[in-house]
Structure 1
Amino acid sequence: MPNKEYAVAMARYNVWQNANLIQAATGLDQPTRQKARGSFFDNIEATFAHLLWGDRIWLSRFAETPAPQGGIAQSTALPQGWARFCADRAAFDRQILKWAHGVDSAWFEGDLTWHSGALGKDVTKPKRILVLQLFNHQTHHRGQIHAMLTAAGAKPGDTDVPFMPDQYNEI
């Protein structure tokens, strides 16, 4: 079950993989990143945007950081363009990592109650399950992004946890 060490390891992996996929996506032009590809959020940029929105919503619940605007339906826009998204993504990845390093081990023992906009009601779940959800949601959508990038001719780097470069294991 998730604990502090798991959160730190997955936050490091998150930094690595977002940088990996963003580098591959940056090699594509905007029309290619925005081309409909039949994924749940339709295209590369929309899926990246939703992923950042999801990370922000979960961290707002875990650490009282500012919540993103809008709900899931509004989560797919890059309102300030690709370059700004890339900078915001990298900065938020560092925020997730900072949270993981700083969270008290005892925090994982409790429950968290929040209002789910998707369900339209308050929900209470164990924090460990919700941390698992944060990182599982990232992996799920990064897999979609990886597939779309590959279909577009981009070549993302490795994604396997054991091959994470040492520089990410030390941050």
Structure 2
Amino acid sequence: MIDAAYCVQMARYNAWQNRQLKSALGALSRDDLMRDRGAFFGSIFATLNHLLWADGVWLSRLAGTARPDGGIAESVALTATLDAWEIARFRRDAEMVLWSERLRSVELTGMLSWYSGAEGRTVERPRAVCVMHMFNHQTHHRGQVHAMLSQAGVRAPVSDLAFMPDDARVL
């Protein structure tokens, strides 16, 4: 289904996308970042915080890293400022890239079991599907941020995986 090379590519893509977002976000005022724009989590900043939180939750399940505090409801307030988000995002992206670079394809086989607060029960799914979900979830919410940036009059960054530079620095 997927292999370790896929994970490296997607972790690099995630880091590249988040680096590009930093420039676009800097063009917004705090009010613009926090304004409810009708997305699932409301604002650009709340969506970015949720995504940072969710990446931490998935890495805790997949790589044994520390799980971020709180649940989905609290995820939107994971960081309080754009500066704090940028630092936390950089660290999370580094964790994800390092995890992917150390990953062996055999580690993508088998089942992953965890307690889901969203479901209120223990869930078990194929590990490879969980990894694909993690990367898909990132793309999904960054797409929402992309749309909200456009609504705010800010040029959103290129998001096409096919156009990620081969020599893009990882972090």
What TM-score comes out, normalization by structure 1 length?
0.96
Note the 1:33-52 alignment, pairs <5 A: 33-52=33-52
C-alpha separation in 2, matches of 1:30 and 1:102: 38
Q: Given that residues 21 and 156 in structure 1 are in contact (C-alpha distance below 8 angstroms), is that contact kept between their aligned partners in structure 2?
A: yes
- Summarize the alignment of residues 103-118 of structure 1 with structure 2, pairs less than 5 Å apart: 103-118=103-118
Task: Give the alignment's Cα RMSD to 1 decimal.
Answer: 1.3
Aligned residue for 2:84? 84
8 Å CA contact 1:9–1:169 kept in 2: the answer is: no
SS at match of 1:33: helix
Unaligned runs of at least 5 residues, structure 2: none
Once structures 1 and 2 are overlaid, which stretch shifts more, 1-10 or 46-55? 1-10
Name the amino acid aligned to 1:91.
Answer: R
Partner residue in 2 for 1:70: 70
Match of 2:157 in 1: 157
TM-score by length of 2: 0.96
8 Å contact kept, 2:50–2:78: no
Aligned residues: 171
Task: Return the offset for 1:94.
Answer: 1.0
Matching of residues 4-153 of structure 1 within 5 Å: 4-153=4-153
CA distance in 2, matches of 1:118, 1:39: 19
Residue type at the aligned position of 2:119: L
How much has 1:58 moved relative to structure 2?
A: 0.2
Structure 1 residue 166, shift from structure 2 partner:
2.5
Any stretches of 5+ residues in structure 1 without a counterpart?
none
| TM-superposition CA deviations, 1:9-29 (whole Å, max 9, x none) | 000000011111222011111
String of CA shifts for 1:33-61, please: whole Å, max 9, x gaps. Answer: 11110000000000000000000000000
SS of alignment partner, residue 122 of structure 1? strand
Aligned partner letter, 1:90: F
Detail structure 1 runs of 4+ shifted over 3 Å in the superposition.
Answer: none
Deviation, 1:169, is: 7.1
Identity, % of aligned pairs?
Answer: 44
The one-letter amino acid of 1:4's match is: A
Contact 2:49 2:79 in 1 (8 A): no
CA contact (8 A) 2:53 2:78 kept: no
Rate the CA distance shift 1:57–1:170 in 2: closer, same or farther, 3 A. Answer: closer
**Cα distance in 1 for residues equivalent to 2:167 and 2:66:** 29
